[in-house]
Amino acid sequence: MSRTEVEQLDDRGMAAWDQHDPVGFAGLLADEFTFSDVMAPEPFRTREQVQSYMDAWFSAFPDMHVKTINRVVSDNEVAAEVEFTGTNTGPLRMGDQEIPATGKSVVGTGTYFASVRNGKIVSFRAHPDVASMMGQLGLMPRM
């Protein structure tokens, strides 16, 4: 793939997140893929798992919006720094725990790395800044 094609695929993925479209994002995944998040004990390997993961974020932050802050792209990979805003009005699922809504707004950041082959994402690794988010929600001391 060209860098432009990888950028366009990444743009579609970010748009799916911003528009709360887990099915649209899952459609960008290859038939065989891995999706990992530093908070999840095991990588996700089915579209249904990825959709559930995304739905959990959208349930916790129904007004969530995301944007790319910085991005590095090659012919088969993309790395990005992202920012999301939202108000925690729903329960927050982290691993096997559920935290009640705090009603607080956050400006969260994170990074992700994605590998692409034949126009699809084969590996997606998310690294949200959980400590900062938890501090903003009042669930741990802010640094």
pLDDT tens, position by position, 5-63: 999 999 999 999 999 999 999 999 999 999 999 888 899 999 999 999 999 999 999 99
pTM of the model: 0.91
Strand order in the sheet with 65-73: 29-37, 120-128, 105-117, 77-87, 65-73
Distance CA 46, CA 19 (A): 21
Domain spanning 3-136, CATH class: alpha beta
Domain ranges of the chain: 3-136
